[in-house]
Amino acid sequence: MTTTLPNDIAPAADIARPPSPPTAAPPASGRGYLGLWRTVPRELGFLLPLLPIVVAAISVLSTLLWTGVGMITIVVGFFIVLAALYVARGLGDFELLRLRASGRPAITPPSWTPRPATGWISRVFGPFADPHYWMHLLHGMIVNFVLGVISWSITITWVASALGGLTYWIWVIASPEADRSRYFTGRISLLFGDPNPVVDSIFSFAVGLVFLATLPLVTRGLTLMHWGVAKGMLGAWSSDRLREQVQTLTESRAAASSAEGQSLRRLERDIHDGPQQRLVRLQMDLASAERQLEADPERSRALIGEALTQSKEALEELRALSRGFAPPLLLDRGLRAALSGLCDRGVVPARFVDELPPEVELPTEVERNAYFIAAEALTNAAKHAGARSATVTLRLRRIPETDDTWLDLHVVDDGRGGATPIAGHGLAGIDERLRGVGGLLTLSSPVGGGTEVVAHLPLVR
């Protein structure tokens, strides 16, 4: 589940990625009129090259599309139209990059991940069924061409009028004998008699000032127009986010069901291989002691002593297995105390760092999952990484764009590194547990550089 992780998380490898947050509204680039001037150079950088860009785009897209349509009957036309769709997608992505460079907020692009397909035909011609490709094609061939020509014409007019008006007096001095009556300001001055260079220069300078003063409003308005159209046609739609959330929920439920099934099977195997065997041995020893009670009392006492030993070991194993449900310390004193105790009694010497605000109260299910994830990560550090020390850290992180809050659990060890999620092993189990609650696992484990496991657990607002 793209998105980059917000704020301070930059994982080396993403095992799962949550849905991308919706695009925020355009922030103000500055306060008041002077603030508009700050982005004028970047907005001009977007507007001035519009004409050659839109002309090149419509030329390439029209050629590919209509050539492909004309050759549909010989099959090859399908591939040419497909090429037009991919070119339209590339041009749309280029437009989003240019808008972002102009100072506008980044627009979340559509998810181009193809839907699961059963055959090669569905995989190759999937773009024909994706409305985003056709929307990019419509934008590149028609909408952006019309808007681009209009925007470029207005921009050129404003910039030329501003520069021409402000520098008109220079040309009057440089060419005093020129016929100025053919210019707009010269014709205006004719209304008051013969063309007067001073009147022409003053009037032109005033016109230039007006155009210059309104230039930031024009560039901002035109850029916002292109940004709004691009957001509607080239960006991800709300229906995409809803579909992604439904898919994520389905995967989370499947992962939770799978994790629960594996936990039950593991518990059944542990009980069968541990306490059940000891209880069977206990039953046999007691039966043998009962038979030899009168004939061989010493032997009976020895068997009863072995039975007591078996009962104590079975009890210890049952207590150990019960921790897989919820350790008493976690239920009684919360996650902080449970993790501190886990670090104190672990095989690998571990240090617990609590960076949570004191007033934060975590949901019971979040605490339970965080505890088991930390226990599994520390077990992996001791069993597979050969670590000599580890650090467990709890942090709280808020995402301003969506006002969501996440609990981040970091488990860092100094082992041999090179850890990868393999089906049926610890990291894959942690990933399934996290996906079951809508969380995210990130892993950084360079060979020889230790391992950092970060579990991101969402907190309900």
Residue 454: beta bridge partners? 410, 442
Give the pLDDT of residue 6.
39
Helix (H, G, I), strand (E, B) or coil at 61: helix
**For 289-348, how does the pLDDT look when each residue is reduced to its tens digit (9 = 90+)?**
777 777 777 777 777 777 777 777 667 666 665 555 566 677 778 888 888 888 887 778
Residue 29 pLDDT more than 50?
A: no
Task: State CA 407 to chain mean position distance.
Answer: 17
Question: What pLDDT score was predicted for residue 8?
Answer: 41
Mean pLDDT value across residues 104-133: 78
Name the pTM for this structure: 0.52
Percent of the chain with pLDDT over 90: 30
- Give the pLDDT score at 405: 86
Q: Report pLDDT for 7.
A: 42
Rounded Cα distance between 155 and 222, Å, is: 9
Q: What is the mean pLDDT of residues 68-93?
A: 92
Classified as helix, coil or strand, 353 is strand
List pLDDT tens digits, range 163-177. Answer: 988 887 787 666 655
Cα 412–Cα 418–Cα 423 angle in degrees, nearest 5: 95
Per residue in 148-164, pLDDT (tens digit) is 999 999 999 999 989 98
pLDDT value of position 277: 58
pLDDT bucket at 438, cuts 50 / 70 / 90: confident
Using alpha carbons, select from 321, 322, 99 the residue that is nearest to residue 222: 99
The Cα–Cα gap between 308 and 302 comes to 10
Angle of the 275-291 helix axis to the 238-273 helix axis, nearest 10? 20
In this predicted model, what pLDDT tens digit does every residue of 172-201 receive, in sequence order? Answer: 666 655 555 555 555 555 555 555 667 677
| Continuous H helices in 71-143 | 76-101, 120-124, 131-138
Tell me the torsion sign for CA atoms 440, 446, 447, 450.
negative
**38-47, 221-230, 413-422: least confidently modelled range:** 413-422
Q: Using one digit for the tens of pLDDT, what is the confidence trace for 353-379?
A: 999 988 888 888 888 888 888 888 888
pLDDT at residue 227, as a whole number: 95
pLDDT of 432: 79
Sign of CA dihedral 369, 372, 378, 383: negative
